[in-house]
Homo-oligomer: A and B are copies of this chain.
């Protein structure tokens, strides 16, 4: 997630540099050809690029909207994970007998590991890194053998609950009640995976780029009698605006790609760890140090 301050200009420029170079080439090439064939080339009325520009803003607005919705839905699902994590611990403490606090702690730690593993698996990273203090060695080995690591961790917790139920440590009503929370966590896991795997209609992006280049070319032709000194910066600045918004949308639409604009899943998992440790009554964890970059992950 990009923070509000300290965004370096380099970062901004990097985002659209390739598009700007192409735009520059397209614009310059068009103008060069326009000057060459100036006698044959008739007047291109400015109304054409003007309405194209308006249309681009409308089409960009749709894309921005849907991309933001995906990002926000991803954030909301991680928000549900935060809520259900807190609720899970409160429920375990409420419905398990006092002499089972060790079992509660074990399930709680495994759940924290699940949060980290889910975030890393979404980003295509090694899932079990930094979970040594949360999962035992044999558990890690068992999980790694499976295809879907977070699902395997979740099943370990479901099995623990089942064992506690068989030993009558919890009654059937409490078991169902806690199982429903695990069901909601399963839903959130499935939800973020859905966003991660579903490709936003990629043909739409192609058309959008196509129309932006059409805009640049028609604008270059229609301004062919105006000095390069004014037209080239104008072309670049306007298309920079369009490409920038398109790129923001493109980044938002896939919020788990290990990019600065990601939903900050590691940061959220750390918050969950802090909250759960507080609920378990562990000594207060030192506040995390402020971010050193213009983003948090």
Binds B, one of A103-111, A121-129, A132-140, A240-248: A240-248
A47 to B278 Cα, complex, angstroms: 61
> Known interface pairs A54-B51, A237-B214. Does A183 touch B7 (Cβ–Cβ under 8 Å)?
no
Residues of B within 8 A of A50 (CB): 47-48, 50-51
A189 to B84 Cα, complex, angstroms: 12
How close is A297's CB to chain B, nearest CB, in angstroms?
14
How close is A47's CB to chain B, nearest CB, in angstroms?
4
Is there an interface contact between B59 and A62, defined as CB atoms closer than 8 Å? Answer: no
- In the complex, the chain B residue whose C-beta lies closest to that of A207 is B244
A201 at the interface (CB under 8 A from B): yes
Interface residue from B57, B95, B177, B191 paired with A55 (Cβ < 8 Å) = B57
Is there an interface contact between B177 and A174, defined as CB atoms closer than 8 Å? Answer: no
Interface residue from B55, B155, B218, B274 paired with A147 (Cβ < 8 Å) = B274
Residues of B within 8 A of A82 (CB): 190, 193-194
Residues of B within 8 A of A259 (CB): none
A225 to B67 Cα, complex, angstroms: 43
A193 to B181 Cα, complex, angstroms: 20
A162 at the interface (CB under 8 A from B): yes
A161 to B44 Cα, complex, angstroms: 73
Is there an interface contact between A241 and B211, defined as CB atoms closer than 8 Å? Answer: yes
Is there an interface contact between A151 and B278, defined as CB atoms closer than 8 Å? Answer: yes
Residues of B within 8 A of A187 (CB): 80, 83, 87
How close is A186's CB to chain B, nearest CB, in angstroms?
5
Enumerate A74-130 residues with CB–CB distance to B below 8 Å. 75-76, 79-80, 82-83, 86-87, 90-91, 93-95
Enumerate A229-259 residues with CB–CB distance to B below 8 Å. 229-230, 234, 237-238, 240-241, 244-245, 248, 252
The residue in A152, A204, A223 that gathers the most chain B C-beta atoms within 10 A of its C-beta is: A204
A66 to B66 Cα, complex, angstroms: 11
A47 to B49 Cα, complex, angstroms: 9
Is there an interface contact between A12 and B91, defined as CB atoms closer than 8 Å? Answer: no
How close is A111's CB to chain B, nearest CB, in angstroms?
15
Residues of B within 8 A of A2 (CB): 199, 201-203
Residues of B within 8 A of A179 (CB): 90-91, 94, 177
Contacts beyond the supplied A3-B199, A83-B190, A214-B237: 12 A-B pairs with Cβ under 8 Å: A3-B202, A40-B229, A54-B55, A54-B57, A58-B58, A62-B65, A79-B194, A82-B190, A93-B158, A94-B161, A151-B279, A207-B245
